[in-house]
Amino acid sequence: MNRTLDLATLRGNPPLDLLVLGGGVTGAGIALEAARVGARVALVEAHDFASGTSSRSSKLVHGGLRYLAQGEFGLLRESVHERTALLRDSHGLVSPLRFVLPVRHGDKRGRRSLGVGLAIYDALAGARSRQWLDAAALLQQLPMLAPQGLQGGWSYLDAQTDDARLVLRLLIEARGLGALTLNYVAAAELLRDGTGVHGATLRDALSGTCFDVRARCVINATGVWADGLRGTLGRAPKLRPLRGSHLLLPAWRLPVAQAVAFFHPDDRRPVFALPWEGMTLVGTTDLDHHEDLAREPGITYAELDYLLKALQAEFPTLGLAEGDVVSSYAGVRPVVASGHAVAPSEEGREHLILEEDGLISVTGGKLTTFRSTALQALQRAGQRVAVLKHASAAAPVLAQPAAAVPEALRGLPHAWPARWIARFGADAADVRACALDGELAPIANTATCWAELRWACRAEAVVHLDDLLLRRTRLGLLLRDGAAEILPRLAGIVQHELRWSDGQWSDEVARYGELIERCHGIPAAPSP
């Protein structure tokens, strides 16, 4: 990604077919599908790619059993279909994940009702994955489960991903087809004439300069910020921002080889613990988010206490406490408000597509259904740009790699070639080629190596240190204190590739440290 060249091209080009505002998974999916049909498309993101909800999700690519209970059968069917497609077309980036649902005496949903739901789940997927385990079999797999009242549990198949890398891979594919993609470029103002919105005044955050870009169609894919852009057209808000917070613990402290979903002892909301990137990920809360959306969210002490209480009740022998938490993160979901006085968890998760004064806004929805949402948005946009009507699900979600491992990747540790092909696509061989001596070694106990950091700095539009450690890689979440232990060695890579002075490096480390402490650490208990 050559940011300088892309800026020059964007400023000098004739009008675009499509301008996409927002660099999360929905915007990236829209840009890719538009580029596939030959449209002239540019995507701009006000901050970093995937820096909003699309790097802060629960990492699940799933149908969503809860949608059965809410009667959202259409969303469930769509989700299961898209999960199947992502597993087929994104091998190594979207991976199967087996879930276990313990069932206890007195649960609102027992063996029979959950079994019926899972039968529907399997029927929609076209394959049976569900299996009932009696209490003895379940405790053999998960001996740290609380045995009180345990009848057994249902096991079934879903999937997971690294959400930020999924967004980057979509953008890599889109750029390969001619799309322009720029981070830290915001829509300062929409351009309008008698026919409605026909472009935007863009502001480059790095230089502070503004310039106009005209487009036959503009799509607002800014997620939880979509109402802000719609508000400039005088439109009333449609969203209910909801915060979901998560914890990451060392796998040895909470050893789960598969995802475990269970009910919180206080309010019976579902909570999960699942293996992710060599750690155990725990989530999630579901609360109204009343804070300024311009400020990055972080977990509250009450949420930390809530999640720990769930873990302590379900896994009582482990003695889990605050000190076991390596990091935390919170994301704000763009949930379409029903207008009814319902609890956050009872709001639907359907997406919303609106056309207002020529601006197409697409928001809501979920990670799993990003492609089907993108295709529906492009069908709407096809009324303005005919070529966009040809966007369809006929092509694989992501380009399929050759069956054989490329010669350039041979000799790497066993899991790395497939991992790199999944994450970097056609750039995978270049990641190895950029490695200097000692850089084809894993960092600490993670699956990330030093060459990936060098490549990200060189080719993946890294502007700030958090871009590198929280999204291009996830080291800031996987290692304590935001991966502070690797900063001395990392300085040489970053300063060489990004041409940062010692002063710039120091400023970035200070900025990053404040962000980690405020948004990804362990919040302090409130004063008595």
Give CA–CA dist 401/404, Å, rounded: 8
Name which of 399, 397, 378, 404 is nearest 389 in CA terms. Answer: 378
Structure tokens at 206: 């790095």
> Whole-number mean pLDDT of the chain?
93
Predicted structure pTM score:
0.96
Q: Does a structural domain hold residue 527?
A: no
Structure tokens at 243: 């915060």
Give CA–CA dist 214/199, Å, rounded: 4
| Single residue among 390, 420, 447 that ends a domain in this structure | 390
- pLDDT grade for 108, boundaries at 50, 70 and 90: confident
Residues spanned by the domain of 444: 434-520
Q: What is the CA radius of gyration of the chain?
A: 23
206-235 per-position pLDDT tens digit: 999 999 999 999 999 999 999 999 999 999
Before 284, cis peptide (omega within 30)?
yes
Task: Tell me, yes or no, whether 477 and 358 share the same domain.
Answer: no
pLDDT above 70: percentage of residues in the chain: 98
With 80 as the cut, is the pLDDT of residue 340 above it?
no
Beta carbons within 8 Å of 528's beta carbon, 6+ residues apart: none
| Single residue among 390, 411, 445 that ends a domain in this structure | 390
DSSP string computed for 38-106: T--EEEEESSSTT-SGGGSS--EE---THHHHTT-HHHHHHHHHHHHHHHHHSBTTEEEEEEEEEEETT
Task: Tell me, yes or no, whether 220 and 356 share the same domain.
Answer: yes
In Å, what is the CA distance from 198 to each residue of 46, 245, 339, 357? 19, 38, 31, 10
Structure tokens at 464: 């700030």
Tell me the three state secondary structure of residue 291.
Answer: coil
Q: What is the DSSP letter of 236?
A: P
With 70 as the cut, is the pLDDT of residue 461 above it?
yes
| CATH code of the domain containing 359 | 3.50.50.60
52-71 per-position pLDDT tens digit: 999 999 999 987 777 766 66
Task: Tell me, yes or no, whether 504 and 379 share the same domain.
Answer: no
Structure tokens at 453: 């950091």
User: Do 218 and 226 form a contact (C-beta atoms < 8 A)?
Assistant: no
Give CA–CA dist 61/84, Å, rounded: 9
435-460 per-position pLDDT tens digit: 999 999 999 999 999 999 999 999 99
Give CA–CA dist 174/389, Å, rounded: 18
- Parallel, antiparallel, or unpaired: how do β-strands 60-61 and 94-104 relate? unpaired
Q: What is the DSSP letter of 13?
A: S
Burial class (CB in 10 A: 0-12, 13-18, 19+), 300: middle
Task: Tell me, yes or no, whether 42 and 177 share the same domain.
Answer: yes
With 90 as the cut, is the pLDDT of residue 29 above it?
yes
Q: Write down the pLDDT at residue 63.
A: 78
Task: Tell me, yes or no, whether 377 and 443 share the same domain.
Answer: no
Q: Does a structural domain hold residue 473?
A: yes
